Structure formats: C-alpha cells, structure tokens
Structure 1
C-alpha cells in the first residue's frame, strides 16, 4: 500500500511540474486565440512576437453605430507592464478615415511610404503602420454620394521591418475580419505568396536606372527624356489599388554626400486635397494636378529642390503631366486638370 502511495505522490508531483511548465504556453495559446475575436494567424503572430515575450491577453470593441472596431494583443514588457504587440482600428466613417490617412503625411511633408505587395490596397508608413482601404458595397453611399469604404489601421509591433510576410498575412486576416464586424461586405483579401521587404533602406537599394523603369509601375520615366549623365535611379512605390503611390528619383551622390531627389506623389480620396492646397489661402499649390477616381478626388504633385541637377524648371510641368496621365490611365480616372 505504501508503495502505491509513493507512486501516486510522485506522479502528482510530475504532473504538477508539467502543468507549471506548460502553463505559459497555454496562456499564450489562449491569449492569441481570443484576441481580435480569433482573427490572428498564430504562426504569423509568433514571428512578430519579441523574443521570450509572454502574451498577457487581448481586447476588442465594436461600435456599429459609429462604424468603428478595434482590437489588440499585449505582452508583458520589461517593467512587467502590458505592452501592445498588435493593434487594430477600423473605420467606415469618412471623417475618421481622412484624419487617419493624413497622419501618414503630417505637416504637408511628403513622408516616405511603401505600398503593400501582391496588389493589396494598402500602404506602410515610415513607422511601420499599415493602412488598408477597402470598398464596402454592403454600406452603399455616404451623404455626399461617395461609395462607402473601410479603413483598417494595423500596428504590427517592432519586428515589422524584418517580418514582411507575417505583417502582410496578419494585416489581411484582420482586414477581412473587420469587414465582417462592420458589415462592410468587402471582397476578402488574399495574402501574397511573396512579399517585398519592408525595410526602407533595402527598398532604396533595389532602385533601378531610369532607362530600366519599364515594368516598375513608373514606366513613364523610361520615356521622359531625363539626362542619363545625372545617373537617375527609380524607386517605384506603385500599386494600382493603394491609397497612395509614388515614383521617386535619386541621382548621383553629390560632394556633400546627399543625393538630389524628386518625388512624384499620388493620393486617392478627398483627403488628399489638403496635401495639394496652400494652408494660407486654401488655393491649390502650383505643380499639382487633380482628377476624379471612384467618385472622389485624386491628387498629384511633384516635389523637387530648385537646383536639382539635370532638371530644368521648364521640365517640371511636363514630368508632372506624364506622371498624372500614367496614374489616371492605370486607375481608370477622368477629368485630369493641371495647375
């Protein structure tokens, strides 16, 4: 009898130790499974998680009357405080979308942005925030007759630069889930099998000589007649579904170590009107253009220093026109006007 008692005690101790060891993994499993109403892909989240971080849980909130949904997943930080790893906010209200998109281009600066891979309708700003814009056919039109859309803002944590594939898959899963939560009725997105790096420096190194611009999304630059001796290289951030596109030109390094550059930018949606208007009087800035795309404005702009080598002042309107015409053709827009 005593022998069986010893065996039982020993087995209980082993089981207890095993349960103690397994508990953090069980907590992680439950936290990821319950966060964002179960929409998080576990393997992608594992790639985004900081090393040895312990998940502490998640939360979600939906306010259908305001067209708002948010959710998050947190982990325990160094100070034993809960730190958000993944954060999502989705809006179907036009004003909410405009405010959020403007934060990607603050204070009229033409902030760097990357387009998502695989034709996904989104961009990534220089802080790693992903913004996806999806049409909402189930919601009809707003009070101004514009087709309703949903903006999804996704913050993937500090690993975003090195985990492009995980960022794309998580963003797609959350966007599809948010569409259902808000009654958007958008066609489900699919994550691309191959994704470009989200490291801005690596994207810059992938720029190609201007004569090889064909097939980059900035094809028009190959026939723009730019001086080859300037050594222009093209960095194309063009996606025919994204809310913003850009063609950036970088020249040879100067004696001061800086590269001259000019940027051709396109913003799709009425929110872009603010990026082409003079804050002082509200009139349009020179060297900008506007068209109509999907019931809203599309704005185009060229930004270059006055003494950009190899670029005459008279060339700027011509280049802006080529860029805007190419974008209008790609997106099926109409009514192009240049200023």
Structure 2
C-alpha cells in the first residue's frame, strides 16, 4: 500500500464507502459530575498522570459558548474534576508529549477586533512536566483552530495547521516540520504547505490528534464536515496517514458517524449530526476506542477497528 492521494472525496462519497467496512460497536456515554448543570463535550482521550487516567473536557452551559476546560478523573464510573488541577478559559482541549513534557492546548476566544458582537479565536499552547505545572508558551494565528504538534521519530516536531479564508477556504490541513519548540512561530505556521485535494470546495476539515506510528508515519485522527441545504452541520470523524519525510499522504477514510453513537441531546438543532473527534486509544488487539464530542452537548466513546494498523505495514 502506498501513501498516495487519489481524488477529492465529499462527505457523501466517504459515507457511501464507509458503510461497506466493519462498523463501530459498543457506544457508551461518559458521565461527568461536579460541574453543575453544564455540558461536557469535545473531550480529549484519557492520558495517564501519577498512575491515574485523566480526561480534559470542554465545559459550558447549553445556551452559551463561554467555555472552560477541566481535567477529570474517574471515580466509581463517573468523571469528576481532579482536585487541585487548573481550569483554563479554553475550548476543545488536546494534548501530546514532546521531549518528556506534557504539551496541552485549546481554543481561546476573544471579542472579534472588527465584527461587533462576534468572537475571534486562536489556539493556545501550554507545556509542563505535570498538569499543575502547565505554563503558556505559544499562540497560533488569530482565526486558526485545529493546530497540532507531534514529536517525530527523529526527534523533530511535526506542525499540523488549518488555515481558513483566502488560503484555506472553510478549512484545509497543512504540515511542516521544525527542529524544536523554540522554532514554533506564527511565520512557520502561516508558511506550512497545504495537503491539497483533501476537501471539496464547500467542505472542510481539520486534525484533532496525530499519532506516531511504528514505522515513523503519522496517523492523523481528524474530522471532515459539510453543510446541508438547510444549513445544518455534519461532522464526521476521519483518519489518514502522512509521511513526514516525503510529504505524501493517504486518502481520508471515515471511522464513525453520529448514528453509531447513543441518542442524546444537541446544543442546537443544526448540530445534531456532529461528531467531533477527541482522541483515539489504540488497544493492541486490533481495535481502538474513539473518544468524541457528540452534538456539542455530551461525550461518548465507541470501539472501532484500529484504523492505523494498515499504515504500519508500509516499509
């Protein structure tokens, strides 16, 4: 199998292909307590600190996007805020490990500098040996979400971008490499080459969680999205693989859809068909657990065939 892009595939085409592949099983709602009546969604995958599993989650009222990110731990089957952990004024948290440090980030909103009453946004990054030691070290460009970092096999760092507007339309994915976190600058982000041919003109997508595969390729968990004729949003979790040495990348493949998850609430009617990839735990038995935000109102996990195994067979 080669990492070779074939054609631009719309959400509808990807859905058609996906129905003929093995389907997700065992959907489960994650129960969060300790944040009042606020929703918790767009979670990270669990990661370990001090011998226990921690999930970062977006916490906000149903009728607002005034969001905070909490760190949760599991207590008797329910996820509760971790005692003593910081709370960040962010949306859509994510994490990775680089040079033995925890790299944490999320989307920061602020009053739009031009459009009255609207919000602007940027991705903000923190680093530290532990959650409590996290300190801000970088900001992405205004207007860019889904900006991610990953430590590569040779110790360099992959930078995954998502410009919009004149260069990126509704949102395209870019990739570049840097030698160290000291080189992570706005200019580097702006200049990252785009992965062309991933999204149809009126559709968009982004990376949520990159995984370093055994052979040095990068498996990317992300999302692809579109509007329907009524203006409703449709978000699907997807994956593809990227060769950081050559810049080659594979076709996008869907790994789940909203119908595979349990029924539940939605933040608004136009967000009912939204699955926002949070993270993937590869279990070593040919399956993986996908953690996701559902309909901008809750969080669930579901078991899928490990989507990255086939890419690890590439020499």
Do the two structures share a fold, i.e. TM-score over 0.5?
A: no
* Structure with more strand by fraction: 2
**TM-score (normalised: structure 1):** 0.27
* Structure with more helix by fraction: 1
Structure with bigger RCO (C-alpha 8 Å, 6+ apart): 2
Question: Which of the pair has more CA radius of gyration?
Answer: 1
